[in-house]
């Protein structure tokens, strides 16, 4: 299955301005800014965890720098002498750190995470659309565009044929060529979708600064559309490669 | 994950796999996909235009075992029903019949979508052909 990350991994923004448990002054997200003690993790989203705005064009070098700096400070070795409580907080903080880093580093995961933060239930889209169609008696709007479905279906038929042939020890150069062509076209599409997504990131980031809620929603939905199509293509490419190599 | 016996039965022995002529006027075709996993399902129905009864149904699914079982079951269920009755089939009934776990609910949604899409396609064809029939008279 494509989306293994569950909704429950989503951390909602919380109050990061509470006071430090140790010295009582204002604390930061990870360590107290006054006394330097590790803090219990506060419920923040991954962007806030790194002190980033909720934007998609992200400075990868900065993210990496922050990640390594925090990893070092949260490393278990640093806490061998500390109280049990602090040790467990540092562990929690560092697992959060790893999740946040892995999610934000990957452009697609980052986009999907943001979509979730913005209220999209990636795993529920189909069901919601079906319920709506049922209630209104209208035809359901397919989340995936029909022409892409058609292509996916055709290619799957070819792949099935290829697998059957391989089992019989036959091979059909024409079929392989057909599949090879389809693979190229899928890779092209994949690339094109990624560029499309990147240009939407720009729009999104601009809208975070100065857009209305409606504008943000529109861009959000456009990004969702691209992510959905890309999932299809990615799964298909995986199947194509498996079938060719098997 | 372990599949229920009913899923396994439909999966290893799917009913009504195949296809019908997409261009035929009494055939409705539904092609749907689940964005969650990228699976695709095609379900076709053959409807008697006099009685609106679904006389035959075929499917072809590229997807997980639950999706194959759901579509196989869906073809069994729609056969012999009128299109209005078929529209009553809900994914929750498929979930119940096949004892699908929560993560597999979207697979049953796919089957309900496919039924609706096939019926929608058939209806569209009927409407498109009506004026032509009148002209012919
Ligand atoms: S896992 Fe996607 S249809 Fe079953």
Low-confidence ranges of chain B (pLDDT < 50): 136-137
In order of A84, A174, A184, A233, A246, the CA distances from A177 in angstroms are 63, 5, 11, 19, 16
Q: Is A126 on the interface with B (CB under 8 A)?
A: yes
Q: Is residue B45 domain-resident?
A: yes
Question: What integer pLDDT is reported at residue B132 of this predicted model?
Answer: 55
Q: What is the pLDDT of residues B104-133, one digit of tens each?
A: 988 999 999 999 999 999 999 998 877 655
Helix (H) or strand (E) segment spanning residue B46: strand B39-48
Catalytic residue among B37, B99, B103, B128: B37
CA distance A96 to A99: 5
Q: Name residue B31's beta-bridge partners.
A: B42
Q: Is B31 on the interface with A (CB under 8 A)?
A: yes
Q: Is residue B29 domain-resident?
A: yes
Question: What integer pLDDT is reported at residue B1 of this predicted model?
Answer: 53
Secondary structure of chain A in HEC code, one letter for each residue: CCCCCCHHHCCCCCCCCCECCCCCCEECCCEECCCCCECCCCCCCHHHHCCCCCCCCCCHHHHHHHHHHHHHHHCHHHHCCCCHHHHHHHHHHHHHHHHHHHHHHCHHHHHHHHHHHCCCCHHHHHHHHHHHHHHHCCCCCCCCCHHHHHHHHHHHHHHHHHHHHHHHCCCCHHHHHHHHHHHHHHHHHHHHHHHHHHHHHHHHHHHHHHCCHHHHHHHHHHHHHHHHHHHHHHHHHHHHHHHHHC
Catalytic residue among B107, B111, B115, B119: B107
Q: Is residue B38 domain-resident?
A: yes
Question: What integer pLDDT is reported at residue A6 of this predicted model?
Answer: 37
Question: What integer pLDDT is reported at residue A228 of this predicted model?
Answer: 86
Counting the structural domains of chain B, the total is: 1
**Burial per residue of A8-44, b for 16 or more beta-carbon CB atoms within 10 angstroms, e otherwise:** eeebeeeebeeebbeeeeebebbbbeeeeebbebbeb
What is the ipTM, given to two decimal places? 0.82
Question: What integer pLDDT is reported at residue A35 of this predicted model?
Answer: 73
CA distance A127 to A100: 28
Q: Is the CB of B107 under 6 A from ligand 1?
A: yes
Question: What integer pLDDT is reported at residue A42 of this predicted model?
Answer: 75
B-chain residues near A161 (CB < 8 A): none
Asked if A197 contacts A223 with a C-beta cutoff of 8 angstroms, the reply is yes
Q: Is residue B94 domain-resident?
A: yes
Question: What integer pLDDT is reported at residue B56 of this predicted model?
Answer: 96
Q: Is residue B39 domain-resident?
A: yes
Nearest CA to ligand 1 atom 1: B64
Asked if B81 contacts B74 with a C-beta cutoff of 8 angstroms, the reply is no
B-chain residues near A146 (CB < 8 A): 31
Question: Distance, in angstroms, between A111 CA and closest chain B CA?
Answer: 15
User: Nearest CA to A123 among B62, B35, B70, B68?
Assistant: B35
Q: B52: domain range?
A: 5-123
Q: What is the CATH number of the domain that holds B76?
A: 3.90.1010.10
CA distance B14 to B81: 20
Q: Is residue B92 domain-resident?
A: yes
Q: Is the CB of B16 under 6 A from ligand 1?
A: no
Q: Tokens standing for A110?
A: 């980052």
Q: Is the CB of B64 under 6 A from ligand 1?
A: yes
CA distance B60 to B63: 10
Q: Is B125 on the interface with A (CB under 8 A)?
A: no
**Which one of B38, B60, B116 has the shortest CB-CB distance to A139?**
B116
Question: What integer pLDDT is reported at residue A148 of this predicted model?
Answer: 83
Query: Could you confirm whether B64 is annotated as catalytic?
Result: no
Q: Which residue from B minimizes the CA distance to A236?
A: B38
**10-residue mean pLDDT series, chain A (246 residues):** 38 53 70 76 84 92 92 83 82 89 94 92 74 72 76 90 86 87 90 94 92 89 89 86 83
Rounded to the nearest whole angstrom, what is the distance from the C-alpha of residue B40 to the centroid of ligand 1?
A: 9
Q: Is residue B19 domain-resident?
A: yes
What's the pTM value of the predicted model, to 2 decimals? Answer: 0.71
CA distance A34 to A238: 51
Q: Is residue B129 domain-resident?
A: no
């Amino acid at each position: 299955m494509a989306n293994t990350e569950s909704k429950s991994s989503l951390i909602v923004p919380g109050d990061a301005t509470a006071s430090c448990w140790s010295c009582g002054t204002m604390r930061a997200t990870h360590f107290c800014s006054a006394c330097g003690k590790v803090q219990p993790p506060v419920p923040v989203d991954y962007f806030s965890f790194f002190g980033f705005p909720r934007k998609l064009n992200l400075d990868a070098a900065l993210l990496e720098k922050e990640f390594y700096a925090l990893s070092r400070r949260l490393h278990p070795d640093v806490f061998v002498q500390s109280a049990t409580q602090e040790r467990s907080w540092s562990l929690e903080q560092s697992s959060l750190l790893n999740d946040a880093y892995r999610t934000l580093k990957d452009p697609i995961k980052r986009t999907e995470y943001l979509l979730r933060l913005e209220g999209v239930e990636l795993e529920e889209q189909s069901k919601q659309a079906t319920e709506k169609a049922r209630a209104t008696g209208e035809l359901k709007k397919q989340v995936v565009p029909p022409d892409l479905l058609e292509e996916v279906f055709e290619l799957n038929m070819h792949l099935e044929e290829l697998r059957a042939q391989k089992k019989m020890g036959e091979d059909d150069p024409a079929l392989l060529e057909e599949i090879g062509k389809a693979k190229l076209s899928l890779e092209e599409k994949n690339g094109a979708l990624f560029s499309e997504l990147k240009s939407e990131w720009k729009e999104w980031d601009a809208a975070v600064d100065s857009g209305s809620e409606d504008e943000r929603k529109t861009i959000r939905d456009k990004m969702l559309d691209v992510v959905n199509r890309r999932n299809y293509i990615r799964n298909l490419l995986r199947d194509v490669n498996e079938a060719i190599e098997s | 994950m372990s599949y229920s016996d009913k899923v396994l039965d439909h999966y290893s022995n799917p009913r009504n796999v195949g296809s019908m002529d997409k261009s035929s006027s009494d055939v409705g075709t539904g092609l749907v996909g689940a964005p969650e996993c990228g699976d695709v399902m095609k379900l076709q129905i053959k409807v008697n235009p006099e009685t609106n009864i679904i006389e035959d149904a075929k499917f072809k699914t590229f997807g997980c075992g639950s999706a194959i079982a759901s579509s196989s079951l869906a073809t069994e269920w729609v056969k012999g029903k009128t299109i209005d009755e078929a529209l009553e089939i809900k994914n929750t009934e498929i979930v119940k019949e096949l004892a699908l776990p929560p993560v597999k609910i979207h697979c049953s949604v796919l089957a309900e979508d496919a039924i609706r899409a096939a019926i929608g396609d058939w209806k569209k064809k009927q409407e498109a052909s009506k004026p032509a029939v009148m002209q012919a008279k």
